[in-house]
Structure 1
């Protein structure tokens, strides 16, 4: 435990004002929306995309009383009960505190870096060591400058090992991570394409990553990547590979993959043993070999390691949001359980606004003791929850201590037997547990069963893309996000909840029904409805939706409706047709528009906007500027007549990337939010948000001359293996993808369709690859290439994915 006074001494600040120097700090906070235990929180006013000093007031109002700031003239007199510590750089102070905590830990720290596989290796190592060691690990993929600092805060001598990830995307980042982590043992997983854009070359990326191991005594890595020349001379390399090389510690003599399993023949210190692993892909084989090599380097015998590997379970490392029975939302985070990841999961639970009732199902954690009991109580005691369901003997005492309604079960089986009695209905349920309690069984029982083809939506990637575009905007420019067409196929309130949590300024939907659904699921942001008609006026007003007004017919009808309801100053958005020639008032209609608006009190113009026809096409930039000029002229005319301010906006996704001069008062972010980069702007690092997956139902071998599918379009010209997969045109997989046009991916290998696309399924030629029934299939390996192959655009492919395809949301 650290007091604010002791933290001040660690940081050696420029100035310190302590109202209560003995205040005990339990939580490090950088986001005022994520304050859980205000009394023990220390708020760091980080300057990133947004300046944390702007949110000190929010944190103070939530009960936070200790702050790290850097602005010399910050008005601390407005916060008379607060402790303030002034530092030169808040980021540096956070990392300095994390480094101090690390220095108090005298047991081995394992640091992991690499392009891919860091989190998998960390989780598997934790599983493998858990039999006789207590392991502290950084939660989920908390491997950034911020994530590592937060991860180290809870490190204590209660643990035998600490395993910390380190991820970088740019030069000069790893030195900061090394200062905090100071790993005794290093693991370098691999070197690949991840974040390649931030480095001049592959060698430059390797040289940056190995800085993590500056003070390590041993580094484990696959020999094929050739990291040895880049490591400091004093480091001992522990390597594995499949070539007869004297420098190898572990030699892979043979490998065989079959039926989603592998058998590896390993040679180590004169012993040769077979190890069976429940995975067949190359990446999993390599990750497990890293784990095996790590345990061997720690002194475990090959026989002991092989026995432990046999108990490994597949990892589902992502927090998932699923549709549940009885109109519930299920948040499944049942693969691990520690204080840091529990806090992350609770933050995600509180983002969900679709249900008033929020329930936590929590199993006991590994290595429960008095100190962990106290920390867990403090974390849960501040949570606003409908009920808490505790599982495991070590949590029995909490039942009496917590203020919220609490149910207790000694084991998961007893909880499952009580499901009917618990009567889950219309609530958001977070299921958080250690692997030994198998709470995933509960999740499966509560989740809705549906079509096995799924669209996986990564909400963390969506938040990342939002921040990428937000970073381009000057202070004061508002952000409207498009969630029309089921959020480009990605969902409804699930996406809107995240956008609301990240404080976008406006949402836009295509139809009033979409806006009504968002309001019914707790979305309170302003919502603009595109092109409404008279039949939805009542819904607009009842659910506080703001209409786009695009012609005199709709304007006059809406004014008349509001007059009958005795409503004044209702917000509207005027659509101007500046050249798209789809909807909107033409420039020569502005005078008549002014005359109507000037004579009524029923409506108030919230914004005047237009839609760019070709903002992504450099050859059309002159026309784009013409549209901007026309909107400015119309806006000026309206402003002079109306006498009150309103917003102007015209910049869509492409314009945000290509035309910063036309941001005006607000921009509208659409397809870019969902990870589709149509403009390839330098420095804009978008992540794909949606992945459409299906599975192989059956594989059969057909002889030359046989045909596949309707109308016998698929003709077998060689003896072939044909796989039937569970997706068809009723799911949104366009019929034009038939007969070899469509490409899917199985185990990293691309295969083509054969025959016509059926309503509920289609067929793939898998003759040249290893494929088995029930294998996972990636439907669109490259979304833009898939769109081009049938003469359309990525937008159409995304919005065409049928609502019967199950959406699975995850965060991480």
Structure 2
């Protein structure tokens, strides 16, 4: 299928959006904030972050084929010899310019916008919805977990004018973060995947988390639709936030559910689910295991129904959906060990969901390697210890790393204590010799616990861990 040759941004659009100075005639194919992923024809925006200043890479960006660079630091511009370069778009502040690009493109957008937030499952639900919506028209969605103060405007700045649907992921870990992001997205449909204990240390209570998530619903326009699981609708903060002219659609199994789910059947190879929606029936078959994936898919199909689209085409498109690396992907490790890779992030609810999936997978032994859940504050010891119950219930041999996971490890029966280490790399050295052919291994932890490093070590040939190679 031929792709559109129309530029994403023209010189005049860039000037109009940012009110910046640009003397050249440029045609931009994509928007980039990292020269490591820059492609010829991209617009490079020199943002200032915690670890780097994009102004240091202006010359490199142009040498790699950038069509245009946006910058505000006069000294850095002069140092790079770009003061009179026709490819330079000079602005007062690059972060404000990125936000301006997002607002400008959102104002031009004629399709439907969907925003997704939640304690668990945001990215997977977003990916499912993008896969399903592709059956109805051109979809633009945020990549990876681009859901913060720069990820949201970047997603909007990348929005093609001919897209039919735009899906934005919205994250938070402190009060007051969701509302300004949603104001940029201006969604027609808002979706909360879950309300759980993630970021409990910053937020203080589940009610506070619910109120913050509900700020997505509060911003919906007249005629908009708010979707959430039935359990999320039990928080008064959620229902009270919904404007009178916005519809609340609950997704669940009771008679109150607008999106009614039944005939759920989960096995080691996938799930089957029947949905009844105001826009029609759908029979869903997933080829990836886990009840949580079936629930995410039901939410995604609920959003399709809220758009007034019959959901079966979307359900059919989801048949071969597979999770990404770090978010439930399955693959083999050396030694014929099956890896359930959940290494990207973790919370109490997401670990429980992963353990439920692990228990469905046939194996002589189920093993979990767990790293710390971060941002729990004074709730950390209690939240970690509570995971002993599902681990014991499913008889999962457990290896732990990190100071918080020590609370869990000590709460486990001795028969399920596989090993403990302070770091993920140290844990890998304990775990590797304990693994046996046919084991199924779950690896999960918050991003800061660096469980990906453990997987990287397990991926190496065993000889590389011999004393001679260290």
User: Secondary structure of the equivalent of 1:112?
Assistant: strand
Change over 3 Å in CA distance of 1:111–1:801 after alignment to 2: same
Q: 1:750 aligns with which of 391, 405, 414?
A: 391
Q: Deviations over 1:104-138 (max 9, x none)?
A: 21011111111111222222223333334332222
The total of aligned residue pairs comes to 392
Q: CA deviation at 1:286?
A: 2.1
Whether contact under 8 Å (1:191, 1:206) holds in the other structure is yes
Change over 3 Å in CA distance of 1:801–1:298 after alignment to 2: same
Whether contact under 8 Å (2:271, 2:291) holds in the other structure is no
Aligned to 1:110: 114
Q: CA deviation at 1:697?
A: 12
Aligned to 1:284: 293
Change over 3 Å in CA distance of 1:793–1:173 after alignment to 2: same
Tell me how far apart the structure 1 counterparts of residues 36 and 265 of structure 2 sit (CA, whole Å).
Answer: 50
User: What aligned pairs does 1:485-496 form with structure 2 within 5 A after superposition?
Assistant: none
Aligned to 1:28: 31
Look at both structures and tell me which one has the larger radius of gyration over its CA atoms. 1
Whether contact under 8 Å (2:70, 2:90) holds in the other structure is yes
1:48 aligns with 2:50: yes
Tell me how far apart the structure 2 counterparts of residues 453 and 273 of structure 1 sit (CA, whole Å).
Answer: 32
Whether contact under 8 Å (2:399, 2:420) holds in the other structure is no
1:158 aligns with 2:162: yes
Change over 3 Å in CA distance of 1:275–1:81 after alignment to 2: closer
Tell me how far apart the structure 1 counterparts of residues 149 and 260 of structure 2 sit (CA, whole Å).
Answer: 36
1:298 aligns with 2:302: no
Tell me how far apart the structure 1 counterparts of residues 361 and 61 of structure 2 sit (CA, whole Å).
Answer: 56
1:312 aligns with 2:316: no
Q: CA deviation at 1:784?
A: 2.5
Q: CA deviation at 1:5?
A: 4.8
Change over 3 Å in CA distance of 1:70–1:451 after alignment to 2: same
1:206 aligns with 2:210: yes
Tell me how far apart the structure 2 counterparts of residues 31 and 208 of structure 1 sit (CA, whole Å).
Answer: 30
- Unmatched tracts of structure 2, length 5 or more: 1-6, 370-383, 436-440, 442-453, 458-470
1:196 aligns with 2:200: yes
1:784 aligns with 2:406: yes
Tell me how far apart the structure 1 counterparts of residues 389 and 300 of structure 2 sit (CA, whole Å).
Answer: 23
Q: Deviations over 1:193-218 (max 9, x none)?
A: 22233324333333333333413411
Change over 3 Å in CA distance of 1:32–1:274 after alignment to 2: closer
Q: CA deviation at 1:161?
A: 1.8
User: What aligned pairs does 1:644-655 form with structure 2 within 5 A after superposition?
Assistant: none
- Unmatched tracts of structure 1, length 5 or more: 321-334, 336-439, 462-674, 676-687, 700-722, 732-742, 752-767, 772-776
Aligned to 2:4: none
Whether contact under 8 Å (1:744, 1:779) holds in the other structure is no
Q: CA deviation at 1:87?
A: 3.4
User: Secondary structure of the equivalent of 1:162?
Assistant: strand
Q: CA deviation at 1:76?
A: 2.5
User: What aligned pairs does 1:141-540 form with structure 2 within 5 A after superposition?
Assistant: 141-213=145-217, 214-216=219-221, 217-226=224-233, 227-245=238-256, 248-252=257-261, 255=264, 257=266, 262=271, 264=273, 281-301=290-310, 304=312, 308-309=315-316, 312-318=319-325, 450-452=335-337, 454=339, 458=343
Change over 3 Å in CA distance of 1:282–1:56 after alignment to 2: same
User: What aligned pairs does 1:86-125 form with structure 2 within 5 A after superposition?
Assistant: 86-125=90-129
Aligned to 1:76: 78
Change over 3 Å in CA distance of 1:256–1:316 after alignment to 2: closer
User: Secondary structure of the equivalent of 2:304?
Assistant: helix
Tell me how far apart the structure 1 counterparts of residues 132 and 192 of structure 2 sit (CA, whole Å).
Answer: 18
User: Secondary structure of the equivalent of 1:750?
Assistant: helix
Whether contact under 8 Å (1:281, 1:747) holds in the other structure is no
Change over 3 Å in CA distance of 1:91–1:746 after alignment to 2: same
User: Secondary structure of the equivalent of 1:312?
Assistant: helix
Whether contact under 8 Å (2:71, 2:77) holds in the other structure is no
Q: Deviations over 1:356-399 (max 9, x none)?
A: xxxxxxxxxxxxxxxxxxxxxxxxxxxxxxxxxxxxxxxxxxxx
TM-score normalised per structure 2: 0.67
1:133 aligns with 2:137: yes
Q: CA deviation at 1:94?
A: 0.5
Aligned to 1:385: none
Change over 3 Å in CA distance of 1:748–1:84 after alignment to 2: farther
Q: Deviations over 1:311-347 (max 9, x none)?
A: 6224231289xxxxxxxxxxxxxx9xxxxxxxxxxxx
Q: Deviations over 1:780-803 (max 9, x none)?
A: 367434665779643553432337
Higher RCO, 1 vs 2 (CA within 8 Å, ≥6 residues apart): 2
Q: Deviations over 1:488-540 (max 9, x none)?
A: xxxxxxxxxxxxxxxxxxxxxxxxxxxxxxxxxxxxxxxxxxxxxxxxxxxxx
TM-score normalised per structure 1: 0.41
1:6 aligns with 2:13: yes
Q: CA deviation at 1:97?
A: 0.4
Q: Deviations over 1:260-280 (max 9, x none)?
A: 555556555699987665566
Tell me how far apart the structure 2 counterparts of residues 273 and 33 of structure 1 sit (CA, whole Å).
Answer: 42
User: Secondary structure of the equivalent of 2:69?
Assistant: strand
User: Secondary structure of the equivalent of 1:749?
Assistant: helix
Q: Deviations over 1:580-637 (max 9, x none)?
A: xxxxxxxxxxxxxxxxxxxxxxxxxxxxxxxxxxxxxxxxxxxxxxxxxxxxxxxxxx
User: Secondary structure of the equivalent of 1:283?
Assistant: helix
Q: Deviations over 1:553-580 (max 9, x none)?
A: xxxxxxxxxxxxxxxxxxxxxxxxxxxx
Tell me how far apart the structure 1 counterparts of residues 198 and 389 of structure 2 sit (CA, whole Å).
Answer: 16
Whether contact under 8 Å (1:166, 1:177) holds in the other structure is yes
Whether contact under 8 Å (1:111, 1:185) holds in the other structure is yes
Q: Deviations over 1:168-191 (max 9, x none)?
A: 222332233223321111111111
Whether contact under 8 Å (2:267, 2:360) holds in the other structure is no
Change over 3 Å in CA distance of 1:124–1:727 after alignment to 2: closer
